[in-house]
Chain A
Amino acid sequence: MKDNYNNRKHVMTTIFIIVGVILALRLFYLQVIDTKYKISAQNNVLRHVTQYPLRGLIYDRNGKLLVYNEASYDLMVVPRQVRELDTLEFCTLLGISEEEFEQKMQRARNFSHFRPSIFERQLSKETYATFQEKLFRFPGFYVQPRTLRKYPNPIAALTLGYIGEVSQSTIDNDPYYRIGDYIGVSGLENTYEKELRGQKGLKIKLVDVHNREQGSYKDGIFDTVPVHGNDLFTTIDMELQAYGELLMSNKKGAIVAIEPSTGEILALVSTPSFDPNILVGSKRSGNFSRLFNDPDKPLFNRALMAQYPPGSAFKMVNALIALNEGVVKPETRIGCARGYHFRGLTVRCHQHPNPTDVVSSIQFSCNAYYCQVFRSILDNNNYKNVEAGFNAWRNYLKSFGLGIRLGTDLPAVGAGNVPTSAYYDKYHGRNRWRSITVISLAIGQGELGITPLQLANMATIIANRGYYYTPHIVKAVGTPDNHNDKFTTKHHTKIDQKHFEPVVEGMFQVMEAGTGRWSRHDSITICGKTGTVQNPHGENHSTFIAFAPKDEPKIAISVFVENSGYGSVWAAPIASLMIEKYLTGKVKRKELEQRMIDGNLMSAQ
């Protein structure tokens, strides 16, 4: 066969040899000429010490500290480097038994003979001080500084969240993390992990055979400096948050307070609560399992996750939908015969002036009015059937942020529940259900599930007469002026702004001369609405939503208290006190305040 390119074998061979020589020259440079990479004979070990950065601090809306750092020291061991040592002295210094010493050494050996592992976590300052001086007598051991979280006030535990050792699966998926690193596990620590954590540094130290550090390797040219994490500036009002937790002592429930004009969350209370300081340091695992197994579920963030039927507090939404759909006018009056009656079905109502219009139906919380109105919405002739009417109603709810997950900056936010027509089709059969079948939705009962956050957002919408900003908890990251611009979109509801006035007036009348009058405040124009949720398992739950002042509202709030009977007894006064605290800075109604703090609704169960 003719082969014209036979000579090209020389080109190939030459290329191979040249590249081989290049590699050899590079090796010669690295290994022989350049002394940058050598380790001298007496400094026989390099120790890579991670420089943990300070985690970002967390502030409240007024610049008060919610979370800061405290130095802590882990005792590390590299089993291969451990020499004969005075075990007794070592154990006395650490305050452990010789048996424990053996166990810990074995655990370290099982992990690796060559790589450092944590021998003893978080030495106390005193232990650290005495130990540090004698460290040179214990080759193979060294101290790794790191920081722990500290909370000046025992509040907002679930919102702030906690940090914990990073899991193996996270290490596998993110090269930033190494074994023993800490990571935000829940709350803000989790959502803002990347901002808070900063950047780890690395110090390479020369260590001689006697475990004495001989300074840094090559004057630290390979070292990196840790970068401080970014601080978080939250929207939380520390005083209001603490006050909310105080008012809710010995009660199960939640409070969410929002600044309507911005969507900033002022307070996010979920009780029973706990001191976040107990989830720090060596006590964490014990305390965590205690909290985890507590039947009252203190780790469950009721403010974000719990869904309750809102009860009568939901009536405003139906009023607004009815007005917008044109099925009632503000002045339309509907009679109430101690309830709503239809073919043997009765939704009961209480004694109140009769008949009612939009304003007085809210003021007196008339069930008959809302049953009638709700049926008009669903049976509206503009829609081809009940299902279409129901879907229209459901879309209004979605525009209120109900039945959907509000995209806030906290992890684990519940979507609540607004049943779909498919749900009723499945339950009753297609075209087998009517507006009367789902009548409990008229008064906020039945299959509705709404979280306290959604309820507070609903109050915000009414306060704003028609719109909301996604409720959020971080204002700025890094510096106070570096504003978080993720939450600047105005979400409008499908309700025309003009329909809000009668509803606001109704809520105002609730406080002036309705179910909320016991929680009225002399100088603050509060608009509110009570709700009671039937609880088949015990005492009813109470809800209350409110905002104040009536014009240019500064705070919108929802309060939910489990097993507390009527909304007017517990939820309304707590909301009212919160409003007073926030708007005036102090509370004058001392007697009411004391009654709320003392109320114990948990032992009653």
Chain B
Amino acid sequence: MRKTKNIFQHVDKPLVIIYLMLIFIGWISIYAAVYDDAHKNIYDLSQSYGKQLLWIVTGVFLAIIILAIDGKFFTTLAYPLYAISLILLIAVIFLGVEINASKSWFEIGNFRIQPAEFAKFTTALALAKYLSTFNTKLENLKTKVYSSIIILLPVIIIVLQNDTGSALVYFAFIFVLYREGLSGNWLIVGLIMTALFILALIVNEFILMGSLTLLFLILLYYTPKKKKAIIVISSIYIMSMAFVFAVDYTYDNILQRHQKERIDVLLGREVDLRGAGYNLHQSKIAIGSGGIFGKGFLNGTQTKYNFVPEQSTDFIFCTIGEEWGFVGSVFVIFLFILLLVRLVKLAERQRSTFSRVYGYAVASILFFHIFVNIGMTMGLAPVIGIPLPFISYGGSSMWAFTIMLFIFIKLDAYRLQVL
């Protein structure tokens, strides 16, 4: 075993370069989004772009600390860190401040911290730790159950905080489980459930259940009359029916008004231009008006007049779309895909299962955020209010994503020391 003298030695340069490019793009986009003649200085700490710079600088500082820490630290402390983040998640329900109807923020002076952002990488660490222990195999029921518990504990608490958007992110872990041996059928089941979920909301439940029954009878007629096949098809049928019913019931009786509205808008059921639909329409106008080459830096009109709400946080991609056009937007998407593909490649070269699982977890969570956030500004995904990693304004998400990514970069740099 040899000691590295320089903490930057063996650090994966492409990942760091992509990271630096993304945070820079984020910073100038926030500047463009809230730009005002009165505050031209991009370093102005009273404005969100000045604050974002502060988050970036402190974030990079955190990244350096992580690189300096011994790689063993993360394996050893995976469970304690997970436990701490669960405690913080519970504490915020009682001690947090309420913002946009969800109680998910701590307020310390002028600063707000959202524990749910940090719980993402602690959950990833805990899952990595668990799956790297001897004798865990995702083919076994026990391993499946334990993994699900690790993932679902934070989900339950975050749902209790009334922050459904952040909770949904955790379903990205299904990709990690898949990579580690979960049957591909689960991915397919996931897809079918998503499809049924959307159908249950758009199609009248009686028509949908009727069609399912018809499909079931046809399948039953054509499949060989073996006991096993009949049982499989029947149970899938019964579960689908129950699922459709549950979705319908939840929508009608459990979801809150604003949650329903967001689903309605996504599915094009209700076009309320002043309510939730307004965001989406304004967002589409902003992006669409950008054209091929965009209107140019600081020349966007749609995002600047505050027509697009939450433009520096959840809807930051609008500013990029409007000012840099198709070319600029595709470049940003390209950077993100490059980041994801690079993460997968590096994850695969790890010698320890821990590092590999963690690497996949980082990739999956980033993937979910990127797809849903960019998708929602264009009407491809529900408007669930999750940030665009490294780009959106906000200290919690900047720090949390930076820590998450750099823990992996550290693990990767450290891999040569693992025997």
Contacting residues of chain A (38-64) with chain B, CB-CB under 8 angstroms: 38-39, 44-46, 48
B175 at the interface (CB under 8 A from A): yes
Chain A residues, Cβ within 8 Å of B348: 6, 9
B220 at the interface (CB under 8 A from A): no
Per the CB 8 Å criterion, the residue count for chain B at the interface is 53
Contacting residues of chain B (266-305) with chain A, CB-CB under 8 angstroms: 273-275, 278, 281, 284-285, 287-292, 301-302, 304-305
How large, as a class, is the contact surface on chain A?
Answer: 35 or more
Do the beta carbons of B38 and A224 come within 8 Å of each other?
no
Q: In the complex, A597→B275 CA distance in Å?
A: 52
Q: In the complex, A20→B331 CA distance in Å?
A: 11
Do the beta carbons of B288 and A224 come within 8 Å of each other?
no
Could you give, for residues 29-55 of chain B, a 1 whenever the CB lies within 8 Å of some chain A CB and a 0 otherwise? 000000011100000000000000000
Do the beta carbons of B180 and A5 come within 8 Å of each other?
yes
Query: How many whole Å from A52's CB to the nearest CB in chain B?
Result: 12
A427 at the interface (CB under 8 A from B): no
Do the beta carbons of B288 and A36 come within 8 Å of each other?
yes
A383 at the interface (CB under 8 A from B): no
Do the beta carbons of B181 and A16 come within 8 Å of each other?
no
Q: Which among A28, A46, A224 is the interface contact of B274 at CB below 8 angstroms?
A: A224
Chain B residues, Cβ within 8 Å of A4: 181
Closest to A1 in B: B353
A202 at the interface (CB under 8 A from B): yes
Known: A5-B181, A13-B341, A20-B337. A30 touches B305 (CB 8 A): no
Do the beta carbons of A39 and B289 come within 8 Å of each other?
yes
B340 at the interface (CB under 8 A from A): yes
Q: In the complex, A17→B375 CA distance in Å?
A: 15
B333 at the interface (CB under 8 A from A): yes
Do the beta carbons of A31 and B329 come within 8 Å of each other?
yes
Max chain B Cβ within 10 angstroms of own Cβ: one of A8, A15, A34, A176: A8
A398 at the interface (CB under 8 A from B): no
Closest to B303 in A: A114
Do the beta carbons of B289 and A16 come within 8 Å of each other?
no
Chain B residues, Cβ within 8 Å of A6: 348
Chain A residues, Cβ within 8 Å of B375: 23, 26
Do the beta carbons of A20 and B334 come within 8 Å of each other?
yes
Q: Could you name 8 residue pairs across A and B whose Cβ atoms are closer than 8 Å?
A: A12-B179, A12-B363, A13-B344, A16-B341, A17-B341, A23-B333, A39-B289, A80-B37
Known: A13-B344, A31-B325, A37-B288. A20 touches B305 (CB 8 A): no
A175 at the interface (CB under 8 A from B): yes
Nearest 4 CB-CB pairs, A to B? A37-B288, A20-B337, A31-B326, A16-B340
Query: How many whole Å from B309's CB to the nearest CB in chain A?
Result: 9
Closest to B258 in A: A175
Chain B residues, Cβ within 8 Å of A12: 175, 178-179, 344, 360, 363
Query: How many whole Å from B29's CB to the nearest CB in chain A?
Result: 16
Q: In the complex, A31→B351 CA distance in Å?
A: 44
B380 at the interface (CB under 8 A from A): yes
Closest to B36 in A: A113
| 18 additional A-B residue pairs with CB within 8 Å, beyond A109-B38, A113-B37 | A8-B179, A12-B178, A12-B344, A17-B341, A19-B367, A20-B337, A27-B287, A27-B321, A27-B329, A27-B378, A31-B290, A31-B291, A31-B292, A37-B285, A37-B287, A37-B289, A114-B36, A222-B285
Q: In the complex, A55→B304 CA distance in Å?
A: 31
Chain B residues, Cβ within 8 Å of A16: 337, 340-341, 344, 363, 367
A417 at the interface (CB under 8 A from B): no
A22 at the interface (CB under 8 A from B): yes
